[in-house]
Amino acid sequence: MSMIVFRYLHFLGITFWIGTAVAVAIAASAPTPWESGIAQALRKVTVRVTTPSMLIAFAGGFGMLIPNFAETYASQGWMHTKLVLLLALAGATGLLTGKLRRWAEGQEVAAQTFGRLGWAISILALLVITLAIFRPF
């Protein structure tokens, strides 16, 4: 595949991954989120949109990374930092999905937990995007 296709998949995946993860976290942290099946609806969005988008973003990113790794990215500190932050971002998304599953099953989850996860995902995403644009080191 062409590098432009991988870049397109990467950007599209990131947009939907981060966008839906933050939107779901904000919706779940609303002052009265505990009514009328919203937990099941938010979980469906996470399972059907956020997780596949994350996989598309990783596939596109690795499609660009692997062919050029040895000559371009292996010696770039910003890329190593970005990959570590991406693992943390994927972990935060997994935490969000797990908390939504527990909530949908009827277990009580504090609304503040979703707000914190939304902030964590937003900050990690901004750090990753900053590294990708400016390549500081």
Confidence of residue 73 (pLDDT cuts 50, 70, 90): confident
Q: Which two tokens stand for residue 49?
A: 């949109």
The sign of the CA dihedral 51, 52, 55, 57 is: negative
Task: List, for residues 30-68, the tens digit of each pLDDT value.
Answer: 866 556 688 899 999 999 999 999 999 999 999 999 998
**pLDDT in the model for residue 31:** 67
Kindly report the pTM of this predicted structure.
0.91
Confidence of residue 108 (pLDDT cuts 50, 70, 90): confident
Residue of 22, 73, 75 whose CA lies nearest to 46: 22
CA distances from 36 to 41, 42, 53, 65 (A): 10, 12, 27, 44
List, in order, residues 6 or more apart from 22 with CB less than 8 Å away. Answer: 118, 121, 122, 125
Region 24-32: what's the mean pLDDT?
A: 87
